[in-house]
Amino acid sequence: MRASGILLPIFSLPSRYGAGDLDSEAYNFIDRLHEAGQRYWQVLPIGPVNKEYCPYQSGSGFAGEPLLISLERLRDKGLLSDQDLAPFDSAVITWEERMERRRELLKKAFRVFRGKLSEDEEAELHFLAFCRMEGDWLDDYALYSALAAYYDDGDWSLWEEGLRDRRTGELAKWSVMLSDEIQFYRWTQYEFFEEWDRLKRYAHAKGVELIGDIPYYTAFESADCWAHPELFQIGVGNEQGFEAGAPPDSFTSEGQCWGNPVYDWSAHKAQNYDWWIRRIRQQLRFFDVVRLDHMRGFESYFAIPYETEDPRDGHWEKGPGMELFSAVKEALGECRFIAEDLGYLTDEVKDMMAQAGYPGMKVLQFAFDTSEENVYLPMNYDTDNSVIYTGTHDNDTTMGWYEKAEEWKKRFVSWYLREKAGLSDGAAQPDEIMDPATAVKGLVELALSSRCELSIIPMQDYLLLGSEARINVPGVAEGNWRWQMEEGAFHEKLAAAIREATAIYNR
């Protein structure tokens, strides 16, 4: 069934508290999606972020990011007061200061929550039941997070040897020493899961389903890597044996080091891929559809020796391929996946994609780099089992991309939209270059009109925003993951226009 949706990370919602969260703005956005006739809201990963707030360098493959917890909802539950939220009204508080203030208020809310448990037996039983039910990952996550806070460093390879190697006596000793902090991190997950489940139910009631990402790799500084080093290629002394990256190519002559430890797939196979199955099951609890990041890595991945961190020393290794997906299907049944199959794909990757049958991705910003034979041009699609995007979180906004494009590429876009897609530009001459706003609107319409079953448009493209609204610049470590939509930007008039276009193209 043809459908459409909008891509907007949770942290990009408007908020006076720093990054966007699960407060009223999330519900307002769902209302607007419903008014706009959209059936999907795609977000990025919602796991714990690193110090640069990158959701693809997560501290857990199972937990939710505590900073997404709604302060307003904590206030409504009596865990915070209006006075606690008042300092955020000051215009002189920076984004970073707001985020630090959020952390402090989460700890205050936990102290109030803990004090109330002794008076509310039902609430205590509910909290303890959650901790037991999620204990297979929650205990490790809470202890790891408490230790990382104590050491002010999540690099567990630098912790004292007994903790680094997870010796039973040391773990027991520190579990007692840091018991309050451990309970705090358990509570953040209890609160996050409750808020997320509430949001998901609201979305479903409005006819909106949620799409989320599962990063291919996890961070070295993560509870998973610390608790299960046997599942990663970590060398002697618990230092990374190999890290993930990309070889030198036409885009980066020296290659790329990503910093993530690569998997020991033989160890995963010996456990019948239990960690991956549990991880995917968790993401399917959060989302209706899961986007599988870096799909080609499941067929083969690039491993770089940690001792050199030189991509030129790296080599390709075989991944689990269909064996993993068969194990997932056997354990979880049919799962709704989107495969991130962008970039150069070998015949082996194409075969794996065909066997899996998951819809791949088509990105229009990639469609005008070469000639009319470009596989990302809609007229060349050989299947409707795809999801079409104008751009992704790693791309510039379509406005920013078009404004920076060479003249020949702008002419290519303008010609294609007029001559091949039949999208008129008023009284413009056939060889004239479209102005940026007209081109962006045309590309959005092109995505909606394509044969792909699902069309996803980044919110910035509906808002006609330029590079100032870009979410991420790959390869740049700082300054990403900060963009937020202005309050009221997704207004009724825009929702009505989106709904009209959606109806025209039967989505």
Q: At what angle do helices 95-117 and 121-133 cross, to 10 degrees?
A: 120
Q: Which residues pair with residue 210 across a beta bridge?
A: 41
> Residue 338: phi, psi to the nearest 5?
-120, 130
From residue 200, give the alpha-carbon distance in Å to each of 126, 203, 210, 263: 20, 5, 7, 32
Residue 464 in tokens: 């006609």
Structure tokens given for 54: 């990158």
Whole-number Å distance between alpha carbons of 436 and 441: 9
230 alpha carbon, distance to own chain's centre: 26
Residues with a catalytic annotation lie at 293, 340, 394
Residue from 103, 66, 62, 64 nearest 227 by CA: 62
Question: In angstroms, rounded to a whole number, what is the distance separating the alpha carbons of residues 431 and 104?
Answer: 58
- The one-letter code for the residue type at 210 is L
In the chain, the amino acid numbered 42 is Q
CB-based contact 36:499 (threshold 8 Å): yes
50 vs 288: CA distance, rounded Å:
25
d(CA 413, CA 438) in angstroms, rounded, equals 11
- E strand map for 293-350: 300-305, 315-318, 337-339
- Alpha helix ranges (H) inside 333-386: 347-356
CB 143 within 8 A of CB 172: no
* CA-wise closest residue to 67 among 20, 124, 34: 20
Amino acid type, 267: A
Distances (CA, A) of 301 to 52, 102, 298, 315, 350: 25, 38, 7, 8, 15
Q: How far apart are CA 495 and CA 292, in angstroms?
A: 29
Residue 107: CB atoms within 10 A of its CB come to 12
CA 91 from chain centre, in angstroms, equals 29
